[in-house]
Structure 1
Amino acid sequence: MTSKNDRLSFLEAMKDVRRIRKSNRAEIIMPRELTPGHLERQRAAVERPLKDANPLTSENVDPLTALDILCWQRPGIQHGVFRKLKHGQYAIEARLDLHRMTVELARREVFQFIADCVRYGLRSVIILHGKGERNPDGVAQLKSHLAKWLPELPSVLAFHSAEKRHGGTGAVYVMVRKGDRDKQHNRELHGSP
Structure 2
Amino acid sequence: MTAPLKAQSFADLKPLRRTLQEQAALQAERERLRREAEQRARAERHLFQDAVGAVQPLKGQHERHWPAPVPPEPLPVQRQLDEARVLHESLSDEFDVSTLLDVDDQLSFRRTGMGPDVTRRLRAGQWSIQRQLDLHGLRVDEAREALGQFIRLAHRTGLRCVRVVHGKGLGSPGKTPVLKGRVQGWLVQKKEVLAFVQARPADGGAGALVVLLAPSPRRI
Range class of TM-score, shorter chain: 0.5 to 0.7
State the percentage of identical aligned residues: 36
* CA distance in structure 2 between the partners assigned to 1:83 and 1:161 by the alignment: 11
Name the structure 2 match of 1:132.
169
SS at match of 1:143: helix
Bigger Rg, structure 1 or 2: 2
Change (3 A) 1:178 1:62: closer
The AA in structure 2 aligned to 1:152 is: Q
- 1:117-169 CA-partner distances (Å, limit 9, x unpaired): 11100001100110102222232111110011111111100000000000000
Name the structure 1 match of 2:116.
79
Give the TM-score normalised by structure 2: 0.54
Q: Please tell me whether the aligned partners of residues 123 and 178 of structure 1 are also in contact (alpha carbons under 8 angstroms).
A: yes
Q: Please tell me whether the aligned partners of residues 108 and 119 of structure 2 are also in contact (alpha carbons under 8 angstroms).
A: no
* CA distance in structure 2 between the partners assigned to 1:69 and 1:82 by the alignment: 11
Name the structure 2 match of 1:172.
209
SS at match of 1:181: coil
Residue 194 of structure 2 is aligned to residue 157 of structure 1: yes
Structure with the bigger RCO (C-alpha within 8 Å, sep 6+) is 1
* CA distance in structure 1 between the partners assigned to 2:152 and 2:187 by the alignment: 12
SS at match of 2:87: coil
* CA distance in structure 2 between the partners assigned to 1:133 and 1:160 by the alignment: 20
**Counterpart selection for 1:55 from 68, 84, 90:** 90
Name the structure 1 match of 2:134.
97
Structure 2: segments with no counterpart, 5+ residues: 1-83, 99-104
* CA distance in structure 2 between the partners assigned to 1:176 and 1:78 by the alignment: 15
Q: Please tell me whether the aligned partners of residues 158 and 215 of structure 2 are also in contact (alpha carbons under 8 angstroms).
A: yes
Q: What root-mean-square deviation, in Å, do the aligned CA atoms of Structure 1 and Structure 2 show?
A: 2.3
The AA in structure 1 aligned to 2:133 is: L
* CA distance in structure 2 between the partners assigned to 1:145 and 1:79 by the alignment: 23
* CA distance in structure 2 between the partners assigned to 1:137 and 1:60 by the alignment: 23
- 1:39-60 CA-partner distances (Å, limit 9, x unpaired): xxxxxxxxxxx99344211125
Name the structure 2 match of 1:14.
none
Give the TM-score normalised by structure 1: 0.61
Higher helix share: 2
- 1:84-124 CA-partner distances (Å, limit 9, x unpaired): 10222210011101011111011001100110111100001
Q: Please tell me whether the aligned partners of residues 70 and 172 of structure 1 are also in contact (alpha carbons under 8 angstroms).
A: no
Structure 1: segments with no counterpart, 5+ residues: 1-49, 183-193
Residues matched between the structures, number: 129
Q: Please tell me whether the aligned partners of residues 118 and 195 of structure 2 are also in contact (alpha carbons under 8 angstroms).
A: no
The AA in structure 2 aligned to 1:157 is: L
The AA in structure 1 aligned to 2:172 is: N
Q: Please tell me whether the aligned partners of residues 97 and 188 of structure 2 are also in contact (alpha carbons under 8 angstroms).
A: no
The AA in structure 2 aligned to 1:84 is: R
Q: After TM superposition, what 4+ stretches of structure 1 lie above 4 angstroms from structure 2? A: 60-63
